[in-house]
Amino acid sequence: MEMEQWAFPTRYDQDYLPDPGSPYWFPVRETMDPAERDAAVLVRLREVMDYAYSTSSFYRRKWDAAGLKPADITSFEAFEQVPVVTKAEMRESQATHPPFGDYLCCDESEVHHIHGTSGTTGAPTAFALGRRDWEVIADNQARILWGMGVRPGDTVFVAALFSLYLGSWGAMTAAERLRCRVLPFGAGAQGMTARAVTWLARVKPAAFYATPSYALRLAEVAEQEKIDPREFGLKVMFFSGEPGASIPTVRRAIEDAFGATVIDCGTMAEMTPFMSASATAGTPDGMLLWQDIVWHEVCDPASFRTVPYGSEGTPVYTHLERTSQPMIRLASNDLTRWVMEDNPCGRTYPKLPDGVYGRIDDMIHIRGENVYPTEVDNFLRGVPDYGGEHRIVVRRTGSMDEMIVRAETTLPPGERSGFESTTGAGLQSLLGVRVTFESVDAHTLERAEHKARRVVDEREHTRR
């Protein structure tokens, strides 16, 4: 079967646009028999590995040590033996081969954008994006935006940080390729959220991109400004960067506030085109894995072999088109569950029905139980009189670990005892651990302008 513009190295026709009536950008690729698609991907995996092996000492060293050659990859079973790449290895490679590491597979003169981790601790990692790669990224993400229902001529409002963060730039370049009007508004500067409200009300864009936390923040500020966010007239809101768009109560809160379709997307900045995991207009829940753009595996976190559909594991990602810093089996350290079922939109991709629910490192281990911070978020958002923000504090008192959930409420101080006892008891039965629940006034906990950080684990300090 002929797949549209399927080649490596990749170069897409920059003038191509689908038939206006088509829900698909590339109808064949998106709806083909998954087994046939996988067969094409397997050949591509060998090509990408061949390319990386011949252009980077990083991959050569790594695969030589594992005793494997690109030509050995004749099955997915063989591919699953390829050792994963970790963030620590990339940091190490960049320390010894600054600034891009010896996994840069193209000439430095080809680098078109530099982005990087915004991590406040430890050495930053630089992302080098090649000139041709940037064009291919734009094309792929335009294709995914098309799947979300965004169309040429639509105004796309980008309300995320324009800095090292790749999310905003990735959304912008995708919208440009789709022949949209982009409003690269940004976020994070003093007073900018109130101005975003004004601009949204004036411009009435069709589409909006941000982190889910920031969309909720924006809705609060709009309310303070006496503007109903539904008046913005948004059609599609797409999110990446953190869990939220697939957390049921968070998703509902955004849908209710803005009256728009909420779409979850996003893998990792290193994996740009990071939108390769994304919902669509016809399958708006969860995220589809667009396997012909990036190869997504969900793996056992110890063996890094794929788990069967229906099971939970950690995503491992492989670029199929990048020639600058191709990631081949990048370990995400996130958690998800994948399924293969008929998607209402007709795309034959596997799906993450609950999105990515968090990072393995962020899971709280307390008294033999594992607590996902997203479970707490989901629960609290469903509680009447919740004020919209909370913190989870874990500390050690004597020899016991203690978990304190501090949540905002809109109730006045004298009328909170019912709220406190029911919410505390509800949390305790949901999580299976003892919880000390406290309430605080609404609008007193700081809101995230980017990705929310709600867990304060004081035991980390005790250990050090």
Chain positions contacting ligand 8LQ, by CB under 6 A = 166-167, 240-243, 264-266, 268-269, 274, 332, 334, 355-356, 359
Minimum Å distance from CB 453 to ligand 8LQ? 12
Which residues, 6+ apart, have CB-to-CB distance to 77 below 8 Å? none
Q: Quick one: 93 or 439, whose CB is closer to ligand 8LQ?
A: 93
Q: How many whole angstroms separate alpha carbon 66 and alpha carbon 53?
A: 13
- Of residues 139 and 408, the one with the C-beta less far from ligand 8LQ: 139
Nearer to ligand 8LQ (CB atom), residue 357 or residue 437: 357
272 or 439: whose CB is closer to ligand 8LQ?
272
Contact criterion met (CB below 8 Å) for 41 and 67: no
Measured over the CA atoms of residue 239, residue 243, residue 248 and residue 252, the dihedral's sign is negative
CA torsion 104-270-189-234 (nearest 10°) is 130
Residue 315 or 424: which CB sits closer to ligand 8LQ? 315
Measured from the CB atom, the residue of 111 and 316 that comes closer to ligand 8LQ is: 316
**DSSP code per residue over 269-324:** GGGSSGGGEE--SSS-SSEEE-TTTEEEEEE-TTT-PBPPTT-EEEEEEEESS-SS
Of residues 148 and 265, the one with the C-beta less far from ligand 8LQ: 265
Smallest distance, ligand 8LQ to C-beta of residue 264, A: 5
Least distance in angstroms from the C-beta of 164 to ligand 8LQ: 9
Residue sitting closest to ligand 8LQ (CB):
266
Task: Say how many residues make up the chain.
Answer: 464
Q: Which is nearer to ligand 8LQ, 336 or 423 (CB)?
A: 336
Query: C-beta of 217: minimal distance to ligand 8LQ in Å?
Result: 17
DSSP character for 98? T
CB of 142 to ligand 8LQ, least distance (A): 16
Position of tokens 């078109």?
Answer: 112
131's tokens: 């000139």
For 238, phi and psi rounded to 5 degrees? -115, 140
What is the closest distance, in whole angstroms, from the C-beta atom of residue 287 to ligand 8LQ in the complex? 7
Q: Closer CB to ligand 8LQ, residue 211 or residue 423?
A: 211
**Bond into 20 cis (ω within 30):** no
Phi-psi region of 54 (alpha: psi -120 to 50; beta: other; left: phi over 0): alpha
Q: How far is CA 226 from CA 201, 219, 223, 243, 291, in A?
A: 12, 10, 5, 28, 44
Task: Please check whether residue 46 is in contact with residue 71, taking contact to mean a CB–CB distance below 8 angstroms.
Answer: yes
Minimal distance in Å, beta carbon 373 to ligand 8LQ? 11
Nearest distance in Å: CB 359, ligand 8LQ: 5
Structure tokens at 186: 């940004």
CB of 454 to ligand 8LQ, least distance (A): 14
Smaller CB separation from ligand 8LQ, 240 or 323: 240
Judge contact between 1 and 32, C-beta under 8 A: yes
Q: Output the smallest distance, CB 248 to ligand 8LQ, in A.
A: 14
Quote the CA–CA distance of 251 and 287 in Å, as a whole number: 13
